[in-house]
Structure 1
Amino acid sequence: MVLRRYALGIEYDGSGFSGWQRLSKPGEPDLRGEPTIQASLEEALSFVAGRPTEVVCAGRTDAGVHAAAQVVHFDGPAQRDPRGWMLGTTSRLPPAVCVRWCLPVAADFHARFSARARRYRYRILNRTVRPALERQYLSWERKPLDADAMHRAAQALLGEHDFSAFRTVHCQAPHARRDLQHISVRRDGDVVAIEVQANAFLHHMVRNIVGSLLPVGRGEQHEGWVGELLAGRDRTVAGPTAPSAGLVFLGPRYPAQWQLPAEVTL
């Protein structure tokens, strides 16, 4: 059988999943009974391919985190049309997951290692009353937030630094140096949105950054505090980890040579 490499753009609501990463070996049932995005996708792809099929993703997401354009690659039978992969796989996925696009790619394309950046957005409903609509996609803060102060404080994080102050103790990365390329905090009505782009992220890094910007927004810490946390490299004195519900993985970004959709191209 002739195989060809394909890239998929995956959209998912992470609310009902225990995260991206499969909790069992390929082809084996998940004995913990906790569904994952990877296991659901591989099961659907394997049905369409008629053979066991594994995927590699651009960036693993935690339980409750959503994705607008997660990118994966897999090797499947070359004779199948990309549209067939997209529609056939989606028909076998749970309602909270879909394949938005499928493209054939060069054999040396790698969803993780070919990416040059990754983007996230965190949204906070900032009003007295908790959300009823879209509550799975929003965090909530009842105290007024100064988004402009949060934005100014966040600029201290730009550039390549040791982000130990914003990594979880469970992070398995060999080092904490990351290149944070963009961060912004903007208010649109009652919603405060934080957007972050970096070459890569540590475990819980975005949620820990948000958790440390919130005291600045509430006026409990001065704007220079976030920069002090970065320099101090001490997770224990930084803000708490923000809830997962407000976080969406907007997707990785790749060099134009891979000819992927504009939303995931630099």
Structure 2
Amino acid sequence: MALEFDGSAFHGWQQQDNAVSVQASLQEALAEIEGKPVSTVAAGRTDSGVHAEALLVHADVSAERWQRSHLAYIHGVNSKLPDTVRVVGVRAVNSDFHARFDCRERAYRYQIWNRNTPSAIYRWRHWWMPRPLDVDAMCEAALCCLGTHDFSTLRASGCQAAHAIRTISRINVKRSDGVITIEVAADAFLYHMVRNLVGNLVDVGLGRQSPEGFARLLDQKDRSKAAATAPAHGLYFVDAVYDGFSSRELIGNS
């Protein structure tokens, strides 16, 4: 399933005992359709406040019901979900498919509202940054991240990954009117890696750090010397790539 959700309504993807999560909401909806408990696995976990346009999730469901009408897993499930989360595409996969371990690439987008006044409409969709940002300098700094590196500088203290080596295949910083978007794709991400990256790129855009200084920070592999973490509400999970398809390609094509 490709899942779209408004992260401001949830305490992240992962099911929790005392908080509303996307996973719990989806599993409750699937259980109503299936008539029994259903477990789900996502391509990646999202923090509280982070949004998604196409988070890939897998679940074992009834083959008979799927063959009778796979739309039960779009319209039927959506009818059981809160308005803040929607299944936007589905497809059948092999029984050994795994949304997390089979994922070859994940992509995120971060949005910055770069105007001198905040937005009344998009206040939980962007990080408001009233001071002008130098997008060219941010682009130059971002390119330092391309390829395979030890990203300890962008790794949050609570990260449980075995190592900090990751491969960033695409990164792009662009402005459209007053909105700056940062798009990044990698084989995998460390805990808070994208938000820490954005915090440092904003420091460059504000002139607090040069692109060369940011490159040196990456080489030092020391999170304590880097900029603060960008807020969660500007971040979107936008794609998960697998052999033969991606989560974004499922939107509207089921």
- Aligned partner of 2:56 in structure 1 is 71
Cα separation, 1, equivalents of 2:152 and 2:116: 33
Post-superposition offset of 1:260: 6.5
For the 8 Å contact 2:89–2:250, the answer to whether it is kept is no
TM norm structure 1: 0.90
Maintained 8 Å contact 1:183/1:196: yes
Q: Is the 8 A contact 1:103 1:260 kept in 2?
A: no
1:33-52 deviations in whole A, cap 9, x for unaligned? x1000000000001101111
Q: Secondary structure at the match of 1:137?
A: coil
Residue 245 of structure 1 is aligned with which of 230, 233, 240? 233
Task: Name the counterpart of 1:208.
Answer: 196
Conserved 8 A contact 2:239-2:246:
no
Deviation (angstroms), 1:108? 2.0
1:36 maps to which of 21, 40, 45 = 21
Matched-pair contact (CA < 8 Å) for 2:117–2:130: yes
Of the structure 1 ranges 186-195 and 130-139, higher mean CA displacement relative to structure 2 is found in 130-139
- Deviation (angstroms), 1:262: 2.8
User: How far 1:164 moved relative to its partner?
Assistant: 0.5
Summarize the Cα distance change of 1:243–1:175 in structure 2 as closer, same or farther, 3 Å threshold: same
Q: Describe the shift of the 1:63–1:261 C-alpha distance in structure 2 as closer, same or farther (beyond 3 A).
A: closer
What's the % identity of the aligned pairs?
Answer: 46
**d(CA) in 2 for partners of 1:261 and 1:164?**
29
Equivalence map 1:224-263=2 (5 Å)? 224-256=212-244, 262=249
1:138 counterpart (99, 104, 126): 126
Partner of 1:47: 32
User: What is residue 150 of structure 2 aligned with on the other side?
Assistant: 162
Aligned partner of 1:17 in structure 2 is 10
Q: 1:125 to 1:222 in 2, by over 3 A?
A: same
Q: Contact 2:153–2:217 (CA<8 Å) still a contact in 1?
A: yes
Output the aligned Cα RMSD. Answer: 1.3
Q: Partner of 1:182: helix, strand, or coil?
A: strand
For 1:197 and 1:263, how far apart are their aligned partners in 2?
18
SS in 2 for 1:143: coil
1:174 aligns with 2:162: yes
- Whole-angstrom CA distance in 1 between matches of 2:12 and 2:70: 26
259 and 237 in structure 1: CA distance in 2 versus 1, 3 angstrom threshold: closer
> What TM-score do the two structures reach when normalised by structure 2?
0.95
The answer on whether the counterparts of 2:25 and 2:81 sit within 8 Å (CA) in structure 1 is: yes
CA shift at 1:261, angstroms? Answer: 5.9
Return structure 1 stretches of 4+ with deviation > 4 angstroms. Answer: 258-261
Q: Is the 8 A contact 2:151 2:221 kept in 1?
A: yes
Spell out, residue by residue over 1:73-101, the C-alpha distance to the aligned partner (whole angstroms, 9 max, x if none). 11111111211111111111111000111
Confirm or deny: 8 A CA contact 1:160 1:179 kept in the other structure. Answer: yes
Find the counterpart in structure 2 of residue 88 from structure 1. Answer: 76
Which residue type is aligned with residue 101 of structure 2? F
Alpha-carbon distance change, 135 to 260 in structure 1, aligned in 2, over 3 angstroms: closer
Letter of the structure 2 residue corresponding to residue 10 of structure 1: L
Structure 1 segments unaligned to the other structure (5+ residues):
1-7, 24-29
Contact 2:241/2:247 (<8 A) preserved = no
Distance, in Å, in 1 between the alignment partners of 2:85 and 2:211 is 39
Match of 1:192 in 2: 180
Distance 1:225 1:263, change over 3 A: farther
